[in-house]
Amino acid sequence: MDAIRHGNVYMTITDLERKLPIYLTCVGRWHNQYRIERKEGYADFQWIQCTSGQGILDINGTEYTVGARQGMLLFPEEPHQYYARIEPWEVRWAAFNGTGAAEMLRSLEFAGSRIITLANPDPVLKQMYDLISAAESTDPLKSLLCSSILYNLVLGLYRYGFDLDLRSKQHYFDQMAPALRYIEYNSHQPVTLDELAGKLSVTPQYACVLFQLTLGMRPFEYITGVRLRKAKELLLREPDLSVNEVGRRAGYDSASYFIKLFKRNEGMTPREFRKQFLNAK
């Protein structure tokens, strides 16, 4: 039986939860967060999001201010303490664990406890509201719903969060939108770095930086990905279209180069790809 105290929910952890990649252990809200000191750290991951007031997080003697639009992502077994600086310090919090929780956070470049500033805190806050609503329900499989919400919450931290002077991923995607749209509609013809830089109103060098920060790849790697995606769509949508014509429509005048590039990326030739997926239908 789950425990509900002061509007906070403490989940009963069974074998079902322990099998999940990420599961909720407790969730709640404090209208004025009291002082917490954990010399041995805490057993679970924690996300503590400030909605008003201001607090201090102390990790290994280093103090960090935590105010509105910010939160604390705390890793297990890391000693820490936090307390109100400007009261009431109102927070919403969730603790979680799971077989895949640590790996998911690492893959999103969250390698340890930190303060995360949210460019847009509302989507993450909505996940917190949804999480406590799901935790309070009487659905016997509510742990699965909570797991799904937690997954999206962590993605929200990655999407909207940034450390110190780094802007959020969403900010970069917004800035990149004109170039990405241009590639989507013009990938069938030559696309130059100067054209992309012009769409972004930046230098060609900084356009490359933006692609790396946002997508983790160079501009022409992204263009190749778009062209090959469209080539695959053509191969399946128009089965009578020759491979040479598919390559030309995708943006490759040289059929041999198109086939070589396709095989290098997909592990099979365009003809083999078409045969495999059309026969599977």
pLDDT of residue 1: 46
Residue 73 and residue 112: Cα distance in Å, rounded?
8
Residue 208 has which token pair?
Answer: 């490359």
What digits encode the pLDDT tens for the residues 200-233? 999 998 898 888 777 878 899 999 999 999 999 9
Measure CA 148 to chain center: 13
Best CATH choice for the domain 9-162 from the list 3.40.50.11390, 2.40.50.100, 2.60.120.280, 2.60.40.10: 2.60.120.280
- Residue-averaged pLDDT of the chain: 90
Cis peptide before 121 (omega within 30 of 0): no
Q: Which stretches of the chain score pLDDT less than 50?
A: 1, 3-4, 164-166
The encoded tokens of residue 214 equal 């946002």
- Does the CA dihedral 264-205-106-93 come out positive or negative? negative
Percent of the chain with pLDDT strictly greater than 90: 73
Instruction: Rounding to the nearest 10 degrees, give the CA dihedral for residues 134, 137, 139, 143.
Output: 40
- Ranges in the chain annotated CATH 1.10.10.60: 169-279
**Digit-coded pLDDT (tens) for 149-198:** 999 999 999 988 876 444 556 777 888 999 999 999 999 999 999 999 99
Q: Is 26 exposed, middle or buried (0-12, 13-18, 19+ CB in 10 A)?
A: buried
CA distance 85 to 65: 9
SS3 19: helix
| CA 279 remoteness from chain centre | 35
Name the CATH superfamily housing domain 169-279. Homeodomain-like (1.10.10.60)
Where do you find CATH 2.60.120.280 in the chain?
Answer: 9-162
Q: What six digits make up the tokens of 211?
A: 């692609």
Element (H, E) at 45: strand 45-59
Residues 6+ apart with CB under 8 A from 105: 45, 73, 75, 111, 154
Residue 166: what pLDDT? 44
Give helix 270-279 / helix 243-250 axis angle, nearest 10°.
Answer: 110
In angstroms, the CA 152 to CA 11 distance is 19
Rounded Cα distance, 105 and 160, in Å: 15
Cβ contacts of residue 96 below 8 Å, gap of 6+?
Answer: 22, 23, 24, 25, 44, 45, 46, 47, 150
Contact 182, 196 (CB under 8 A): yes
pTM of the entire structure?
0.64
Distinct helix (H) and strand (E) counts, the chain: 11, 10
Give yes or no for a contact between 71 and 115, defined as CB atoms under 8 angstroms apart. Answer: yes
